């Protein structure tokens, strides 16, 4: 798990990559499946994991975001 300091250090990168605009301030329960996927992928890749398993998560994203994700991987 990450400390508050670690989360604060990567928060801006997470928000920028997820690109969900002002919805970042809304409760997650109001997010669409695509918005949830964007945020989840952004969080998981912001911590530079040694292993990243991506199943069908990118299927709900638009083509531009999918390309952005593939580039990040």
Supply the pLDDT for residue 2. Answer: 86
| Cα dihedral: 7, 40, 72, 15 (round 10) | -50
Question: Computed from CA positions of residues 34, 62, 44, 22, in that sequence, does the dihedral angle turn out positive or negative?
Answer: negative
Supply the pLDDT for residue 59. Answer: 78
3-state secondary structure labels for all residues of 10-64: HHHHHHHHHCCHHHHHCCHHHCCHHHHHHHHHHHHHHCCCCCCCCCCHHHHCCHH
Q: Which residues of the chain have pLDDT under 70?
A: none
Supply the pLDDT for residue 73. Answer: 87
Supply the pLDDT for residue 55. Answer: 79
């Amino acid at each position: 798990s990450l400390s508050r300091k670690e989360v604060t250090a990567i928060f801006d990168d997470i928000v920028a990559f997820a690109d969900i605009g002002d919805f970042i301030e809304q409760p997650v329960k109001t997010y669409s499946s695509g918005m949830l996927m964007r945020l989840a992928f952004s969080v998981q890749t912001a911590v530079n994991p040694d292993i990243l398993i991506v199943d069908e998560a990118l299927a709900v994203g638009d083509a531009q975001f999918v390309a952005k994700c593939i580039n990040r991987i």
